[in-house]
Amino acid sequence: MNWDPNHPSLRSPQAPHETAGVLRMRRNGYNGAQILKLIKLRGTRLVNQMQRAMDAEQAAHRAGRPIHDARIDPKRVK
């Protein structure tokens, strides 16, 4: 199935929420140092992104929106 990631329906307030990559990485066993190295961020920027990701996920949960939290495949990490 081909799905356009820029489809207007994904901007809807009722659209499913996709968890941010930094939060998915953490939930799949990557520690902070590994995440920093892989995506080349400074520590404070990573913390800010994690906080925004958690806030967005909480807002989606409160709104009753489905949350898509895909696993990270370690074989595909470069």
Which residues, including other chains, have CB under 8 Å from residue 61's CB and lie 6 or more apart? 67
Segment 16-35, tens digit of pLDDT: 777 888 888 888 888 999 99
Show me where the domains of the chain are located.
Answer: 19-63
Segment 32-59, tens digit of pLDDT: 999 999 989 899 999 999 999 999 999 9
Taking the C-alpha atoms of residue 41 and residue 46, their distance in angstroms, rounded to an integer, is 6
pTM of the model: 0.69
Dihedral (Cα; 47, 52, 54, 55), 10-degree rounding: 140
Taking the C-alpha atoms of residue 78 and residue 76, their distance in angstroms, rounded to an integer, is 6
Q: What is the pLDDT of residue 53?
A: 92
Residue 66 has pLDDT above 70, yes or no: yes
Residue 72 has pLDDT above 70, yes or no: no
Which tops the pLDDT comparison, 26 or 12?
A: 26
